[in-house]
Structure 1
Amino acid sequence: MDLTSETTGDVTIIHVPDSRIDAAAAIRFKDSMREHCTRAADRVILNLAQVDFIDSSGLGAIVASMKQLRDGQALELAALNPNVAKVFRLTRMDTVFTIHASADAPGQANVG
Structure 2
Amino acid sequence: MSLTSTATDTAQIITVNAARIDAAMAIQFKEDMRAHSADGPARVILDLSAVEFIDSSGLGAIVAAMKQLGSGRRLDLAGLTPTVDKVFRLTRMDTVFDLFASLDDAIAAEAG
Q: Under a length normalisation based on structure 2, what TM-score does the superposition of the two structures give?
A: 0.92
Distance of 2:70 and 2:9 partners within structure 1: 18
Unaligned ranges ≥5, structure 1: none
Aligned counterparts, 1:67-106, within 5 A: 67-106=67-106
Q: Is the 8 A contact 1:100 1:107 kept in 2?
A: no
Q: Which amino acid aligns with 1:87?
A: V
Q: Give distance in 1, aligned partners of 2:39 and 2:105.
A: 22
Match of 2:2 in 1: 2
Cα deviation code 1:10-36 (max 9, x no counterpart) = 201100000000000000000000011
CA distance in 2, matches of 1:36, 1:71: 17
Measured in 2, the distance between the counterparts of 1:68 and 1:39 equals: 11
Aligned residue pairs total 109
CA contact (8 A) 1:12 1:40 kept: yes
Query: How far apart in 2 are the matches of 1:46 and 1:58?
Result: 13
Q: Give me the identity figure in percent.
A: 60
Give the corresponding residue for 2:24: 24
TM-score (ref. length: structure 1): 0.92
Structure 2 residues without counterparts, runs of 5 or longer: none
* Residue 89 to residue 108, structure 1, CA distance change in 2 (3 Å): farther
